[in-house]
């Protein structure tokens, strides 16, 4: 399956490596993650073209036909310029538009303010992985209810499986045995490696931990995985994007997502 968007190409790479199923329907691809039905962006439609007039309602109907039990709606667009087309119609349908910045690096530079007090290592124990779940819940930007906890646990289990099958490494910054920050780096051996879930506990921010962790994981990607390109997808409005730019990541494209959360 050929896609223009590097963001979606690497998303699909990760999903397939962790067990998701892709079905090509011509105009769109159905992405299913049976192990985590609460994962919006593991259960969505990726359309090959932007929205034309009349597409908002029609594509939502297609989504419900493919996912009749889903409470959410999630539609990806294979583009790189951030243009939805017919955006007013999309919003009138009650759908939200999200734009993420896809960043790439062919090399990285050391952080301007490295953190030398934390300990940096791979996640290895059950406790390490349980702590990544705790950190993700602490960092959540939405209400943490039982469904969100279940989604987060299943996502963590999929991430751990990626590591156990040799497709990824998860890195952590620790203060003694306490996890301060974590991230994943995954690759299918094609020369591209994708970062996942860069997160730092709120109490441990502004200490140079995240930039040091990203730098060390980047060096692993180049030196151990043999990657030529590292990919990071970031929220353009969140301060972390400045950290990535400072390390040498450049804005490459805009990834478009159209969705409606469960009521």
User: How far is residue 210 from each of residues 41, 201, 204, 263, measured CA to CA in Å?
Assistant: 25, 10, 9, 34
Q: What's the CATH number where 204 sits?
A: 3.40.630.30
State residue 4 phi and psi, 5-degree precision.
-75, -40
Domains in the chain, number: 2
User: What confidence tier does 63 reach under pLDDT thresholds 50, 70, 90?
Assistant: very high
- What is the pLDDT averaged over residues 22-27? 96
Unique residue bearing structure tokens 């699909």: 12
Q: Is 36 among the domain residues?
A: yes
Q: What pLDDT is stored for residue 82 in this prediction?
A: 92
Angle between helices 240-247 and 209-223 (to 10 degrees): 40
Are 67 and 185 in a shared domain?
Answer: no
Are 53 and 153 in a shared domain?
Answer: no
Could you report the per-residue pLDDT of 80-101, keeping only the tens digit for each?
999 888 899 999 999 999 999 9
Could you report the per-residue pLDDT of 112-147, keeping only the tens digit for each?
999 999 999 999 999 999 999 999 999 998 889 999
pTM of the model: 0.95
**Measured distance CA(99)–CA(82) in Å, rounded:** 7
Q: Is 260 among the domain residues?
A: no
Are 89 and 47 in a shared domain?
Answer: yes
Its domain, for residue 40, covers 6-101
């Amino acid at each position: 399956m050929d896609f223009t968007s590097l963001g979606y190409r690497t998303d699909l790479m990760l999903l397939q490596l962790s067990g998701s199923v892709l079905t090509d329907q011509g105009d769109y691809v159905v992405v299913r993650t049976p192990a985590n039905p609460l994962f919006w962006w593991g259960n969505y439609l990726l359309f090959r073209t932007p929205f034309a007039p009349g597409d908002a309602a029609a594509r939502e109907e297609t989504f419900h036909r493919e996912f009749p039990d889903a409470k959410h709606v999630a539609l990806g667009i294979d583009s790189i310029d951030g243009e939805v087309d017919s955006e007013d119609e999309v919003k009138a349908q009650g759908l939200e538009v999200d734009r993420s910045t896809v960043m790439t690096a062919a090399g990285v530079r050391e952080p301007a303010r490295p953190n030398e007090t934390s300990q940096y290592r791979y996640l290895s124990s059950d406790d390490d992985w349980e702590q990544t779940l705790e950190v993700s819940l602490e960092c959540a930007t939405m209400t943490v209810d039982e469904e969100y906890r279940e989604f987060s646990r299943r996502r963590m289990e999929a991430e751990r499986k990626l590591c156990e099958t040799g497709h990824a490494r998860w890195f952590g910054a620790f203060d003694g045995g306490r996890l301060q920050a974590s991230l994943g780096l995954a690759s299918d051996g094609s020369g591209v490696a994708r970062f996942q879930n860069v997160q730092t506990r709120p109490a441990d921010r502004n200490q140079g931990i995240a930039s040091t962790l990203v730098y060390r994981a980047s060096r692993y990607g180049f030196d151990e995985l043999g990657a030529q390109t590292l990919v990071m997808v970031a929220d353009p409005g969140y301060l972390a994007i400045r950290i990535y730019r400072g390390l040498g990541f450049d804005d490459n494209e805009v990834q478009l997502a159209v969705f409606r959360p469960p009521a």
